[in-house]
Amino acid sequence: MRRMLINAIEIKKLRIALIDGQQLYDLNVENIDKKQRKSNIYKGKIVRIEPSLEAAFVDYGEKKNGFLPLKEISRNYFPNNCSNYRHLHIKNILKEGQECIVQIDKEERGTKGALLTTFISLAGNYLVLMPNCPHLEGISRKIEGIDRFHLKKIISMLMVPENMGIIIRTSGVGRSIETLQLDLNFRVKNWYTIKKSAEINTAPCLIHKESNIVIRTLRDYLKKDIQEIIVDNPEILELARDYMFNMNCSYFEKKIKLYTGSDPLFSYYKIESQINALLRRIVKLPSGGSIIIDYTEALTAIDINSSQSTKGVNIEETAFNTNYEAVREIARQLRLRDLGGLIVIDFIDMSVLKHQKMIELHLHQVLQKDRARVQVGSISQFGLLEMSRQCLGSPLKKINHNYLFEMQKC
């Protein structure tokens, strides 16, 4: 049985886990006392143009200025008489002191300011509104086959305002045109409210705050395969019920329950130990092998070891079987730890080319479950595979202040 567990009884953290039986397959954690700025929308002011970087620095109201590269500037800001967009330089588009509406694409990291975009996106239950992307009629890359064919027809019938675009989410599959239009109308109304706020407020200022972790998780993860939603905090329970009522999700209202047990919620469902294990370098595999996850400033390195693994009659078969087993666990760890950026996997050497291709195919298959954007390369002659993954929130290693201490204990 698939369940969504919402642990909101702690003072400093709010945690949401998705489990299948007793297996943890997705996790969202948010520090209550830490400001979450990703996807917030601000009215900012250009404070510096940097031609050498083809970027601008934007004061959006925080201590560090945000970074706005040329590729993230909507054509709404381009000169009206422009005929060749490709050869424009940022100094010909933006000016110091100019105001703009920006959204945080990536949070501040280390000494780097937040990455900003003017391509605003407003996520709904079933679609995403892109108010600065005219004529965009996109469908999630994860939707394939007959579902994609049907959605193309439905998109053409939706009443999308001029100069706006939409992307249908995976949750939009099987939804009626009326349901999708209702979701679209709500996002459009939201956008007009944001624009109005930008008109009456002085830069820099916040003009739209992204929903809290509970609403975001319900919006992004709630599907019909979730059979129970269990909450340990009455206030959060009512918040979730209100959201479902407002979004016309009556199907799920009957599935939400208040947990009143004496044991902590995550302990009762036996996933606390799985969460604690996410803070360690070494992840054991059932066969006796292991994967080792190390973080650096440039990339995340994942090493696969056969250790005591005996899954095979010879070295080649043992290497293939251990790599194959490790791939599924690596995909799970990427989701649970929310690892982003460049990731390099060091596979156990395989001399048979067919085995390498099978491992690559298996990796592509297990990554289909990941909501993040992922790009995957091929296994090199040195047994290394490079991939990149979009970070959806704050990686678990940054959220948990005990991370470094736990690493030292391994």
Claim to verify: residue 298 and residue 215 sit in the same structural domain: no
C-alpha–C-alpha distance, residues 223 and 358, integer Å: 31
Tokens of 187: 């996002």
Q: What is the pLDDT of residue 272?
A: 92
Claim to verify: residue 45 and residue 88 sit in the same structural domain: yes
Q: Who contacts 244 (Cβ-Cβ below 8 Å, separation ≥6)?
A: 218, 250, 252, 253, 256
* Total domains in the fold of the chain: 3
Claim to verify: residue 28 and residue 69 sit in the same structural domain: no
Q: What is the pLDDT of residue 111?
A: 80
Q: What is the pLDDT of residue 408?
A: 39
Furthest-apart CA pair in the chain: how many Å?
Answer: 72
Claim to verify: residue 14 and residue 59 sit in the same structural domain: no
Residue 61 placed within a domain: yes
Residue 171 placed within a domain: no
Residue 131 placed within a domain: no
Q: What is the pLDDT of residue 135?
A: 83
User: What is the β-pairing status of strands 165-168 and 127-130?
Assistant: antiparallel
Q: Which of 119, 140, 162 is the last residue of a domain?
A: 119
For the annotated binding site, the residues are 303, 346
Residue 114 placed within a domain: yes
Query: Could you tell me the residue range of the domain that residue 246 belongs to?
Result: 1-33+210-277
Q: Which of 59, 90, 119 is the last residue of a domain?
A: 119
Q: Which residue has the tokens 């706006």?
A: 164
Residue 106 placed within a domain: yes
Q: Who contacts 346 (Cβ-Cβ below 8 Å, separation ≥6)?
A: 301, 302, 303, 304, 383, 384
pLDDT per position in the chain (410 positions), as tens?
A: 899 999 998 777 889 999 998 899 999 888 877 778 889 999 999 999 999 999 999 999 998 999 999 999 998 888 776 656 667 889 989 999 999 999 999 888 878 899 999 999 999 989 999 999 988 889 988 888 899 999 999 999 999 998 899 999 988 888 889 989 999 999 999 999 999 999 999 999 999 998 888 888 888 887 778 899 999 999 999 998 888 887 777 677 788 999 999 999 999 999 999 999 998 999 999 988 999 999 988 899 999 998 766 665 688 999 999 999 999 999 999 999 999 899 999 999 999 999 999 999 999 999 988 888 899 999 999 999 999 998 887 666 554 544 333 333 44
Q: What is the CATH number of the domain that holds 237?
A: 3.30.420
Q: How open is the CA angle 166-188-172, to the nearest 5 degrees?
A: 45
Claim to verify: residue 312 and residue 353 sit in the same structural domain: yes
Residue 189 placed within a domain: no
Q: What is the CATH number of the domain that holds 321?
A: 3.40.630
Q: What is the pLDDT of residue 409?
A: 42
101: closest CA among 124, 81, 131, 128?
131
Claim to verify: residue 377 and residue 273 sit in the same structural domain: no
Q: What is the pLDDT of residue 394?
A: 63
Residue 193 placed within a domain: no
Claim to verify: residue 51 and residue 115 sit in the same structural domain: yes
Claim to verify: residue 331 and residue 247 sit in the same structural domain: no
Claim to verify: residue 46 and residue 114 sit in the same structural domain: yes
Residue 169 placed within a domain: no
For the annotated binding site for Mg(2+), the residues are 303, 346
Claim to verify: residue 295 and residue 273 sit in the same structural domain: no
Is there a contact between 24 and 336 (Cβ–Cβ < 8 Å)? yes
Name the DSSP class of 280: S
Claim to verify: residue 389 and residue 288 sit in the same structural domain: yes
